[in-house]
Amino acid sequence: MPRLSDQYNEDENRNSTQDLLWAHGIKATAPRIAVIDFLVQQDNPLSIGDINKKLPKYSTASIYRTLDVCIDKGLVNRVNIDRSRALFELTFGRKHHHHIICTDCGDMEDSEKCLPQDIEKTILSHSKKFSALSHHSLEFFGCCKKCDVHE
Amino acid sequence: MPRLSDQYNEDENRNSTQDLLWAHGIKATAPRIAVIDFLVQQDNPLSIGDINKKLPKYSTASIYRTLDVCIDKGLVNRVNIDRSRALFELTFGRKHHHHIICTDCGDMEDSEKCLPQDIEKTILSHSKKFSALSHHSLEFFGCCKKCDVHE
DNA sequence: ATAGTAGTTGCGAATAATTCTCAATTAAAG
DNA sequence: CTTTAATTGAGAATTATTCGCAACTACTAT
């Protein structure tokens, strides 16, 4: 699982984050750099609450706005798992992937297996309203091995 | 697209909804019957707000609780599309399906094309934390033909 | 370097969404 | 018909999200 922090040393970190934002057409401001720097360190997607708590220096509104713009520019991915948990992760430096979520404890694991290439064509050929697809959301649920034992 | 209302006449409707709830191990109370009766008529998944507005007679808390219990018992499916849109639809009387959502206007279409059967096995064979999957969530996004024209 | 400018921030208030509490009610079983 | 455990409604409490606007700042062009 490649991470941005693996590719740049600590001292250059700030600079590299700025470049990353620029490369996505996003102005490099303090809260944006902080959010991205934080997300880079994460293995799993995080909620807004998590990010907000970890970065009390910046206003909640800015965290929301930062995530919005980064999603818009394709630097961040939103994972919708349930009503009250929208989670966020960096797309940069990672292969396209999906998640397996434990229905019991909420623990997550990445899965790099994706849809077969031809499935979108098949779907479009049966669709009345759509002639092209831009992306998809695919998440798997199950009870993880740890929770399975405790039953 | 089969609907419960196709299978029972108007007069028997109340009774059939009661049976439907019972069959899922859910006590048949007034708000639950109302919610299910309403969902039966819908072609697309609805938000809590929609349901709540349509059924002012029942308390918001009951709508939430009804949906929670019905999801738990497998009678209702929650579709997570974005942060502020959790949508709900009946599972009963419908084939397992997914949705295509227009990123512009939010209009939706069902798609009965699902994942290939072997994909879950493949995923599990690569997974460290999971040995079984219970279900999945798969949604497609694109710009619908109507919106495509307006650009 | 410096100044201009458009875009961004922080704050707190406004709004919306969700959960909670608990007394009163009711579905289902006996 | 009675009993009982589960459910409801109402509103308060909590949490999540958005908004408005004056102050600030990253980037651009001098």
The mean predicted confidence, pLDDT, of chain A is 88
pLDDT in tens, B14-72: 568 999 999 999 999 999 999 999 999 999 999 999 999 999 999 999 999 999 999 99
Whether residue B107 lies within 8 A of chain A, CB to CB, comes out as: yes
From the candidates A51, A70, A97, A130, which should be mutated to test the interface with B, based on the most B CB atoms within 10 A?
Answer: A130
Which of A7-11, A17-21, A141-145, B71-75 shows the lowest per-residue confidence on average (mean pLDDT)? A7-11
Q: Does residue A10 carry a pLDDT above 70? A: no
pTM reported for the whole predicted model: 0.87
Report pLDDT for A151.
Answer: 61
Please name the amino acid found at residue B109.
E
Cβ of A67 near strand C (distance < 7 A): no
pLDDT in tens, A114-143: 899 899 999 999 999 999 999 999 999 999
Check CB contact under 8 Å for B80 and A78.
Answer: no
Q: Which residues in chain B touch residue A140, judged by CB atoms under 8 angstroms apart? A: 120, 123, 133, 135-137
Whether residue A110 lies within 8 A of chain B, CB to CB, comes out as: no
pLDDT in tens, A18-44: 999 999 999 999 999 999 999 999 999
Cβ of B62 near strand D (distance < 7 A): yes
Among candidate residues A126, A91, A123, the one with its CA nearest the CA of residue A110: A91
Report pLDDT for B10.
Answer: 41
Mean pLDDT on A91-113: 92
- For chain A, give the secondary structure using H, E and C: CCCHHHHCCHHHHHHHHHHHHHHCCCCCCHHHHHHHHHHHCCCCCEEHHHHHHHCCCCCHHHHHHHHHHHHHCCCEEEEEEECCEEEEEECCCCCCCEEEEECCCCCEEEECCCCCCCHHHHHHHHCCCECCCCEEEEEEEECEHHHHHCC
